[in-house]
């Protein structure tokens, strides 16, 4: 990781300089602390993946999960991604961290499948920064080969920012990624500023409706209209659609009435540590085939 070493040297120089700057505030101090500790977190095995279920609306069953990173820091405790993913992206550390996420999520999902817990799908978040990594495609391929996970069970979440400016390297990379057999989704759909034309030019499979739209669908007619339009757009393009941030039965009912395929949110479960997620999968399998959600969606 020569690039990281170089970056480290550059950053250390700047941090030393910052150390003597009187204007340094709490925020930049916290940042420096995070950045320094982040460099050792991988080798100290401090990252953890939590898993949040994705529920199919027609069956009411968990059909997939999103892997979400946390940092179990010895002093800071469980650090949420909002506090370190940005720093990891700026420093380039997201490249080795992202590779770890991919491998760990694939291995965990395969283990659950082997334990008879169902043919589930696992989604991982990919930072735009990881597209600059020449090892990206080979890394995904190796993670699949080494874990034995069926490529169809791996979903890679991209953000609209990837499609915003010079898309030529991205289009080639996405086709190479797609050629591995994985699914591609657009995370936080509707919050970016990109043109929609990329949806027909890129091999996308799934749109994830951003939770900011879902939050107000039951009392904001405009958000409700945006959500139903995204669902129609996705289906017209033969894409499947999942709503993020579903917290209430009312939101579930509206999304269901509009034909949304899948949902993810606190209404079903918060992201859980692997052991708790596994427990939930086992409990689901012990339930009769028609789960309580079927009642929720009957209308």
Least gap, CB of 155 to ligand C2E (angstroms): 12
Give the three-state DSSP class for 52: strand
Question: Which phi and psi angles does 175 have, rounded to 5°?
Answer: -70, -35
Measured from the CB atom, the residue of 35 and 244 that comes closer to ligand C2E is 244
Residue 85 interface partner, choices Mg ion, ligand C2E, none, CB cut-off 5-8 Å depending on type: ligand C2E
Query: Per CB under 6 A, does 187 bind ligand C2E?
Result: yes
Tokens at 188, concatenated: 């936080």
From the list 5-13, 25-33, 112-120, 243-251, the region that binds ligand C2E by CB under 6 A is 243-251
Residue 60 interface partner, choices ligand C2E, Mg ion, none, CB cut-off 5-8 Å depending on type: none
- Interface residue with ligand C2E among 81, 151, 192, 273 (CB under 6 A) is 81
- Interface residue with ligand C2E among 104, 108, 127, 256 (CB under 6 A) is 127
DSSP secondary structure string, 137-171? HHHHHHHHHHHT--GGGEEEEEEGGGGSS--HHHH
Give residues with Cβ within 8 angstroms of 127, minimum separation 6: 85, 88, 89, 94, 98
- Interface residue with ligand C2E among 38, 55, 79, 101 (CB under 6 A) is 101
Query: Per CB under 6 A, does 68 bind ligand C2E?
Result: yes
Instruction: State how beta strands 121-125 and 272-273 pair.
Output: unpaired
Which residue has tokens 């579930």? 252
187 beta partners? 159
Query: Per CB under 6 A, does 271 bind ligand C2E?
Result: yes
CA 286 to chain centre: 28
Task: State how far the Cα of 157 lies from the Cα of 296, in Å rounded to an integer.
Answer: 28
Least gap, CB of 91 to ligand C2E (angstroms): 13
Residues that bind ligand C2E (CB under 6 A): 52, 68-69, 80-82, 85, 94, 98, 101, 125, 127, 157, 187-188, 211, 244-247, 264-266, 271
């Amino acid at each position: 990781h020569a690039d990281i070493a170089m970056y480290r040297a550059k950053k250390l120089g700047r941090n030393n300089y910052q150390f003597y700057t009187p204007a340094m505030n709490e925020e930049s101090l916290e940042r420096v602390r995070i950045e320094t500790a982040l460099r050792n977190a991988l080798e100290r095995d401090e990252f953890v993946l939590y898993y949040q279920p994705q529920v199919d609306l027609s069956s009411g069953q968990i059909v997939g999960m999103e892997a979400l990173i946390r940092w179990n820091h010895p002093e800071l405790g469980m650090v949420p991604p909002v506090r370190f993913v940005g720093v990891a992206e700026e420093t380039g550390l997201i490249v080795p961290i992202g590779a770890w996420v991919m491998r760990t999520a694939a291995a965990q999902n395969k283990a659950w499948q082997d334990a008879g817990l169902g043919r589930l799908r696992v989604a991982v978040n990919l930072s735009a920064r990881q597209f600059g990594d020449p090892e990206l495609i080979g890394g995904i391929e190796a993670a699949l080969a080494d874990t034995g996970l069926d490529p169809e069970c791996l979903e890679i979440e991209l953000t609209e920012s990837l499609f915003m400016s010079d898309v030529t390297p991205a289009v080639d990379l996405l086709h190479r990624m797609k050629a591995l057999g994985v699914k591609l989704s657009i995370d936080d759909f509707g919050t970016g500023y990109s043109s929609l034309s990329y949806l027909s030019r890129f091999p996308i499979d799934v749109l994830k409706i951003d939770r900011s739209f879902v939050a107000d669908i039951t009392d904001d007619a405009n958000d409700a209209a945006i959500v139903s339009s995204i669902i129609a757009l996705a289906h017209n393009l033969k894409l499947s659609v999942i709503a993020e941030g579903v917290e209430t039965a009312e939101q579930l009912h509206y999304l269901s009435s509009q034909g949304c395929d899948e949902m993810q949110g606190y209404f079903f479960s918060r992201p859980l540590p692997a052991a708790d997620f596994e427990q939930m999968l086992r409990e689901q399998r012990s339930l009769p085939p028609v789960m309580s959600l079927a009642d929720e969606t009957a209308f």
